[in-house]
Structure 1
Amino acid sequence: MKSYVRISLVFLTLAASMGLLLRLMQSGIPLMNYKYLLHTHSHIALIGWVYNGAFIIISNLLGVEHNKGFMRLFWITQLSIIGMLFSFPFQGYGAVSIAFSTLYVFCSYYLVVLIFRHTSDKPKSTKSRFLRWGGIYLIASSIGPYALGYFMANDMGDSIWYNLSIYWFLHFLYNGFFLFVVFAYLVRDNFPNRKRIFILMNASLIPLFALSVLWVDPPALMYFLSGIGALLQLIVFAYLIKGMDYKITHSFPSMLLRLALIAYGLKLVFQLAGSTPQMQEFINNTVPYSVIGFIHLVMLGFFTLFLLSYFFRNEWIRLTRLLKFGTWLLIIGIVLSEGLLFGKAVLTQLSILWLTDFFPTLTAVSSLMPIGILLLTISAFGSQVVSDQLN
């Protein structure tokens, strides 16, 4: 598993570096096609880092780290990611990038097949239920890319349906598949209220998608549905926190897990607040700040810190001083950039001029993240095995 983790960290480093390049371009430095680089950044971050991380967790939870089917699938998936890495920057959504994206989609389908196959002995266990339904939502997310292809072929790239297809993909990927893999790890068979958690999480997924359509000024029913979905997830979070085991209070992995859960709790609060017309007006007026801030809160604050916590806890990455220093730089970068993004959103809504050189400042702060990620990646590749004396 260590090699899988290291490869995933390389993709995280590349995604973070591309994120910094995007910040530089927002600051007025022309480097390359912004839209193409944005596509590359998002795909490598989502698939090369978070999807790979979910794949590693699934393999570990199912005890199939050395299963030939999983091993072959992992390496074929890496081929699809590398193909996207070297095609999206030059053509955006073109023939080559779409071909490699399609390869990833079919790899994800086979992952779902393997999940069902390797949970057939205990299909009703809590872990199996979360992994199986996570797989179902992974398949559901793929409808988004298919729809994108149709809309692009019919010159509908500027339509609301094009954007809704992206939101569909993202919603079922990270609110469905990614999140259910996290819950498969956190919620065990002896976890209090595990059945309620599982039922409520499933019940929340469909209505919560309504949150992604509120920007088009839909009927009031959509606000009601998104509010129901957001409220159900908040209830689940309360059950989760109440049932968590906090006996290990001083370890570095536990600290990262706590920070990840704080970020997840903030995400849930923002979801509920975003289910009101007033907050939607605020979001529509501050998209470059509030929406990007929310996405990074989820992907960096929650999923990235959770994955690092999981990898450290399983000792696939040794906790050296360099690694801890890099991780702290990442955390500081996340906190400062989120503060800037959401602070700018609030002040923009209030028509208060503040920090006119906002993007250069944000770029400087954001640079802490790729530097920190690079340091912890270098540490993970270190050949010397360092005993973890710092837990």
Structure 2
Amino acid sequence: MKPIYYIIPLFNFLIAALLGLLLRSIFVYPIEGVTFLYVLHTHSHIALLGWLYLLVYVLFVQQFGLKNDKENTFYTRLFWVTQLAVLGMGVTFPFMGYAAASISFSTLHIICSYVFVVHLWKNNTVSGKQQGVLLKTSLFFMAFSTLGVWCLGPAVGMMGKASAFYQICIQFFLHFQFDGWFLTAFLTLLFAIVFKGYSLSKFKPFYYTWIVSVILTYALPVSWYVELPILHYLNAVGVLLQFYSVGYLLNPVYKMFKQRDNNEANFVWLLLILAGICFTMRIGTQLLVISESIANELQALRSWIVGFIHLNMLGVLSGFGLWLMIQQKKMYVNIFTKIGILSLLFGFVLTEFLLFVQGLQGFMHIVWIENTPLSLFWASVLLPISVLSFLISYLKK
């Protein structure tokens, strides 16, 4: 696809990063007339649907879409309609939150995703059976996750926004977006772009353990709203299966690492290392909540919840997505790329550390770092600087 289709997701990422900085600033420099919750909704929607979704969209089309004028026209038009939905959410959520206009643009985005799923499912250039299975599985999870959105209306009508059912519907969408759609999509791209035709000898056990793990780990967000001890154990089994399934990929990833281009390895591979470390930490964090008492304590600490979300969004998904862009030669390693990678690493590590300390201080009622909101704000400045550097790097190419 043309460069503009990679610039737009990066631009959306920059807007999401700036909105995140605005959220951090509200705790330090309150801004009159700005509703925190409305900005939070805008930040999350643009990060999820404007950055990650569109990045996977263009990478999937580039890798698996049919190459002819008719298909190019189709994907181009669908891209811009999807981006229109993102822009619509970007200009309505900050002023009204969930209202008729913002919900309409969100619905438009879902409809666009259905069109994308059905079209790519039927028309693709997948070269191997393993890639094909993973591609269709990720597309299935994309559509499956939206069942949670369609259930929100009935949930509000029957039980209200404060009900457990309403929250479970939201978590259904988020879980199967993150674990089902995005993670499986990136696994598909790993097989197609990085392994380049490599066939995993034990693909079936890898695949089935991965799918079961995605389903079982949904028990964790459900356990936040339903007091049922078995949910913690189902989550533990799911996390262990996820860890086990990823183990099948270690050997081909190690072989790929040995064959890397040494001229760019020092910086480019930092992104993949970041994604790998964050994924391991993610699994470790989920194992901690086997205990119901620990799970309840963690749920009450907002800073740790935010840190966990960013561990997924920034560490795992964004880190791996940016690495794939470089592998696809959509970004080249230059001074701006290096600034972007280093700013992302330092900004991510600092903000995660401060969020952890902030939560620990609240948990133990001890103060180690005075005025953590101010420290978080200045550490967060590095994140939009990082995205801006990546964008300049791409434009420079």
Q: Same fold, TM exceeding 0.5?
A: yes
Match of 2:245 in 1: 236
Match of 1:15 in 2: 16
Match of 1:159 in 2: 163
Match of 1:326 in 2: 340
Q: Letter of the 1:14 partner, please give it.
A: I
Question: 8 Å contact 1:285–1:349 — kept in the other structure?
Answer: no
Question: 8 Å contact 1:81–1:100 — kept in the other structure?
Answer: yes
**1:153 Cα deviation after fit:** 4.8
Q: What number of residue pairs does the alignment pair up?
A: 381
Cα deviations across residues 236-287 of structure 1 (Å, max 9, x unaligned)? 122222331222174233331122121112112212222322430331231x
**1:138 Cα deviation after fit:** 0.9
Pair 1:255 & 2:256 matched: no
Pair 1:128 & 2:135 matched: no
Q: Letter of the 1:262 partner, please give it.
A: I
Match of 1:356 in 2: 370
Tell me which moved more, 59-68 or 17-26: 59-68
SS at match of 1:330: helix
Q: Closer, same or farther in 2 for the Cα pair 1:103/1:217, shift >3 Å?
A: closer
Whole-Å separation in 2 of the counterparts to 1:324 and 1:106: 38
TM-score between both structures, scaled by the size of structure 2: 0.91
SS at match of 1:218: coil
Whole-Å separation in 2 of the counterparts to 1:219 and 1:196: 29
Question: 8 Å contact 2:66–2:125 — kept in the other structure?
Answer: no
2:186 to 182, 187, 191: 182
Question: 8 Å contact 1:59–1:65 — kept in the other structure?
Answer: no
**1:63 Cα deviation after fit:** 4.4
Taking the TM superposition and a 5 Å limit, the aligned residue runs for 1:221-300 are 221-244=230-253, 245-247=256-258, 248=260, 250=262, 251=265, 252-286=267-301, 288-300=302-314
Whole-Å separation in 2 of the counterparts to 1:103 and 1:359: 36
Match of 2:104 in 1: 99
Whole-Å separation in 2 of the counterparts to 1:356 and 1:152: 41
Q: CA RMSD in A?
A: 1.9
Cα deviations across residues 261-320 of structure 1 (Å, max 9, x unaligned)? 21112112212222322430331231x211100000100011111111111111112322
**1:71 Cα deviation after fit:** 2.1
**1:342 Cα deviation after fit:** 1.5
**1:139 Cα deviation after fit:** 1.0
Q: Closer, same or farther in 2 for the Cα pair 1:249/1:380, shift >3 Å?
A: closer
Whole-Å separation in 1 of the counterparts to 2:37 and 2:240: 35
Pair 1:113 & 2:114 matched: no
**1:169 Cα deviation after fit:** 0.7
Match of 1:219 in 2: 228
**1:150 Cα deviation after fit:** 3.1
Q: Letter of the 1:45 partner, please give it.
A: A
Question: 8 Å contact 1:211–1:275 — kept in the other structure?
Answer: no
SS at match of 2:367: coil
Q: Letter of the 1:272 partner, please give it.
A: L
Question: 8 Å contact 2:206–2:245 — kept in the other structure?
Answer: yes
Q: Closer, same or farther in 2 for the Cα pair 1:354/1:157, shift >3 Å?
A: same
SS at match of 1:135: helix
Aligned-pair identity in percent equals: 31
**1:348 Cα deviation after fit:** 2.4
TM-score between both structures, scaled by the size of structure 1: 0.92
Match of 2:393 in 1: 379
**1:48 Cα deviation after fit:** 0.4
Cα deviations across residues 74-121 of structure 1 (Å, max 9, x unaligned)? 111111111111111111111111111111101111111122112487
Whole-Å separation in 1 of the counterparts to 2:101 and 2:231: 37
Match of 1:88 in 2: 93
Question: 8 Å contact 1:65–1:71 — kept in the other structure?
Answer: no
**Structure 2 residues without counterparts, runs of 5 or longer:** none
